[in-house]
Amino acid sequence: MPIRKLRGRDTGTVITILLVLLAFAPLVAHALKGSTPPVQAADGRSLADTISDRVPPGTTLVIGDPTTQRVLEYTGWAKELPFTIQWANISGGPGVTEAFQAKAIEVGSAANIPPIHAAWVGIDAKIVAFRQRKDPLTHPIFVIGISPKAKIDTLADLRGKRIAFSAGQAQGHVVLRTLAAQGIKTSEVTLVDLPGTADIYAGALAAGQIDAAPLGAGLPAKRYLDGYAREGAHVLPHGDSFRDDPGILYVRTETLRDPAKAAAIKAYVRFWARALRWTETHRAEWTQAYYVENQGVKPVDAALIVRAAGSPDIPRGWDQAIRLQQDTVDFMARETGRKSFDAHRLFDRRFETVGADAFAQPTPPTLRKADKGPQP
C-alpha cells in the first residue's frame, strides 16, 4: 500500500488531534478507573473527597440509634468512642425527620423510606450505613395484620377495605407495594392516615376502625394474635414481590460538611457494624441481657424477636443498594404523586466500605466486668 508523505497542512492537523487527545486523557483515565463522582449535596456543593480516620479532640455528635446504644453500653465499647456522644432516644422515620428539622440530632437510624421522604420535604440528608437481612423473604420485617371484622382471607380481598397508612415510613411503602402486587389501585381502597406504631395499629384493628395494617413480623404480630385471634384476627404475609428489610444510618448533609464531625461519623459507623456483629455472634447473651433483663420481655418472646430478625448483611458495595433505592423512589413517586429524583444523591459513598469492613472483623473483647448486667 503506498504511503503518502505528510504535508505542512497535514502535520498541523495531526498536531491538533494529538493536543485534543491529550486534553481528554485525564477524563478517559478517570472513566476507565470506574471512580465515583464527587459526593454532592442537594444544593450541588461537593463534599470533601476523603474523610480522616482521626477525630479531633472536643468533637461531639448527637445520635438517635437506641439499639446500637444499648450494645455499646452493655459491652463497654461506648468508652472507646473517640468523640463525645450524646444519645437521643429517637429512631424511625417520623421521629428522626422531625429531629432533623429541629436540628436536634445529627445521626439517625431508620428504614430506607425516611431518607426519601426527607428529600421530598426539603431535608438534605445522606445515608452513611446500609444493611439488609440475609434471607428477607424468610425473615420479613412486616406482615399484614387483619381485623377480626374485616372478612379478608387473602391479599386480593384488600380491595375496598380500610388500610392504615403512613406516608413517610416503611409501613406506608409496604402497604403500597402489597396493593400493587395484587393489582389493586389506591383509589380502590381507603388509606387511613395513622402513625406506624404497633400499639396504634393493633388497637385500631381490634376495634374495627381499620381492616388491615402492617405489623412487625415478630413480637408485635404475636401479641396481636394472642389478644385477638379468638375473635378472628389473623395475619398474612405481604408476598415475595418486594423486600422490606433495609436499615440505614443517615445524616444531615450540613453535619457532613464539618470535617471533625464527618470523621466522628466514620468512627461511629465502625462501632455500629461491630455492634451488629456482636449481637449476631452472641445471640443468647444479647437476648437475655437486653430483651429479658433490660426490656422486661418474657424469655420466649425475646427469643422470638431475635429469631424473627434473622442475620444481618452489610454489603461492601452500594451499587445494588442504590438500584433498590432508585426503584423505591420511582415507585413511591408514582404512587404518591411526588417527583422522582436520582437516588445517588441519598448516599455518601465515602462511607461505602466502612461498615462492611468493620463487620468482617472479629469483635474485640467486651470491656465490662463479667458480673455486670446491661447498662440502664
Q: Give the domain-ending residue among 203, 236, 269.
A: 236
Mean of the per-residue pLDDT values for the chain?
Answer: 87
Under 8 Å CB-to-CB from 259, ≥6 apart: which residues?
48, 51, 52
Q: How many domains does the chain have?
A: 2
Percent of the chain, pLDDT > 70?
85
Does residue 189 sit in the same domain as residue 129? no
pLDDT the model gives residue 11: 38
Could you report the per-residue pLDDT of 237-262, keeping only the tens digit for each? 999 999 999 999 999 999 999 999 99
pLDDT of residue 10: 42
8 A C-beta contact, residue 351 and residue 269? yes
Domain holding 330: CATH number? 3.40.190.10
Give which of 152, 313, 146, 145 is closest to 218, Cα–Cα: 145
Residue where one domain finishes, among candidates 185, 212, 236: 236
The sign of the torsion formed by the CA atoms of 31, 36, 39, 42 equals positive
Domain assignment present for residue 23? The answer is: no
Cell numbers 405489623 correspond to 215
* Pair 216, 279 in one domain: no
CA-nearest of 246, 234, 249, 223 to 348 is 249
Q: What's residue 168's pLDDT?
A: 84
Q: Which of 236, 256, 279 is the last residue of a domain?
A: 236
Question: Per the structure block, which three cell numbers stand in for 244?
Answer: 422490606
pLDDT score at 304? 95
Is it the case that residue 146 has pLDDT exceeding 70? yes
Which residues constitute the domain of residue 324?
A: 60-133+245-359
108/335 Cα distance (integer angstroms): 26
Residue among 237, 254, 238, 246 at smallest CA distance from 329: 246
Residue (of 84, 88, 87) closest to 58 by Cα position: 84
Give the lowest-confidence range in 27-36, 174-183, 278-287, 329-338: 27-36
Is the model's pLDDT at 40 over the cut of 70?
Answer: no
Domain assignment present for residue 285? The answer is: yes
Shared-domain flag, residues 251 and 354: yes
Same domain membership, residue 250 and residue 120:
yes
The per-residue pLDDT for 41 is: 55
Residues 231 and 300 occupy one common structural domain? no
Residues 2-38: pLDDT tens digits? 333 334 444 344 334 334 333 444 433 444 334 444 5
Q: Is 279 part of a structural domain of the chain?
A: yes
Q: Are residues 169 and 199 in the same domain?
A: yes
pLDDT confidence tier of residue 196, bands split at 50, 70 and 90: confident
pLDDT of residue 46: 64
In total, the chain counts a number of residues equal to: 376
More confident residue, 320 or 197: 320
- 248, containing H or E segment: strand 247-252
Residues 160 and 225 in one domain: yes
Position 253 scores a pLDDT of 95
Say whether both 250 and 123 belong to one domain.
yes
Q: In this predicted model, what pLDDT tens digit does every residue of 283-332 receive, in sequence order?
A: 999 999 999 998 999 999 999 999 999 999 999 999 999 999 999 999 99
